[in-house]
Chains A and B, each alone.
Chain A
Amino acid sequence: MNTLATRTASPLAWYARQNPKRELWLAWGTLVVFYIFFGVVFFVLTRTQPPPSPAWDSRKVVQWFQDNHSGILIGFAIMFVITGMTTMSNALIAYSMRRMSVSPAFGYTYLILYSLSAIPGMLLMCIALTVGALRPDRDPELITWTYDFAFLSFIGTMGVFLIGSLVWMLAILIDKNRVFPKWFGYLNLCNALTEIVVSPAWIFRRGVLAWNGQIAWWLNMVVFAIYTGVFIFLLRQLIQREDFGTGPLPNLAPKAAR
């Protein structure tokens, strides 16, 4: 008969046998796999990044749909299967904030903001373009409508990422556990600012500030790519440094001893 004592001892002994970080590594690995899929689907399969022009007339838009027909349908179907992976990314980042010395409110706020960001900020585009590509003989005006809906919702969903990045930035800057370096806090500010820089995409149909513009898309994408690469790297470091305590996170020991 298991007593309470044995029952409490057994999970501890079981922990000792397992690597306690494996669920963190699972989350990190999923996050990396997701971004690889994201890159391949959006940049290669569907050719929606870099985005086509908002200045096109209906005829050109219909032509674009025709040229990318299978790519769009297959690529976004893949997104419909794997988007759940983003929950692992958000969970890991929320966890990083729970490891900080700041209130759990930061982690929860980020979790909620980014959990709801996937729908207006990515899935709506995938759905709209799928519907647009579904019937190539649809009225070109309606196809253009789905085209606008898709790209504007994707590029133009700004608030969740803006506020979410600011929340993370704030948590990092006041954190005493040194979970992340302060310069990464400032990088979050840079990422948040890209959400402001992209807002003219709702106004312009040509030029540098259109949804395919050199500033609103290209420059922003460079900042976002750097930001994403950096936080993937820093999350990896976090998991390596993690000691499951509540105090300052130890630095990574030099390569010889660990």
Chain B
Amino acid sequence: MSAPHARRGGTGWITHTFVYGVSGWITVLTYIFMLAPIVVLVVFAFNSGHSTVVWTGFSLEWFGKVWNNRHIARALNVSLIVAIASAAISTAVGTLAAVAITRRSFPGRDALGAALAAPLVLPEIVLSVALLVFMSSIGVRLGYGTMIIGHVLISMPFATLIVRAAASSLDPGLENAAADLGANEWQTFRLVTLPQLIPAIFTAFTLSATLSFDNLVMSTFTSGVGTTTLPLRIYSMLKLGITPEINALGALLVVANVAIMFLVMGRYLPLMLKANRR
């Protein structure tokens, strides 16, 4: 009797929030606003006509087209290679930098921290053009190498920030205890600091990979022979009009993203919750 009605009924809070409450409606409208375009995109992927506006009937034809389009397969391959490679580098370097900045004191520490965040505030197009000019002036051939370097430049500030936030909330007492018990610096890092940072490192990696996978501006300037990424490919397809083929590709990416999200949550959510409890 003393417990509020909403809690006891189990589903009573839904009525409470979404029928009588303003916040519930705002939430629903916000979700509709954010998700409706994606729903429309996915629906028109199944259109049998060539239009992305007029519905003519159900068909899986466009998915077949995407499946058989070797340019898309190739571009997807390039995007994945660049995303994984650049995210791995960003996360590795970003983690070490974050630990150094939060754990060590050395001259120029603050300057280093600021410098690492600088690419965040520089317009990406400026970075891209500068990188392109630099690369061509020293005679580097454009391709995977230049594109991975470019993407690392974009994603490393984010990776560093994420790991820094996690590292600064760690209890230094644990590291001191490890040192007291005879662990050397490397052992302390590997056995004490690193395991506690794993959820943050994983988040940094996923975010870096996503940033790289979506990137258009940097890729435009740094791609070379045989390294057209998926966004570059899609953008160049727009010139001759949008067909549901692009919708079908978008629908597949949505499905892939949701699947990865569930996979990651299933595996790492318990780990992150555990880390947060600590």
Decide whether A and B assemble into one complex: no
- B residues with a Cβ closer than 8 A to A are none
- A residues with a Cβ closer than 8 A to B are none
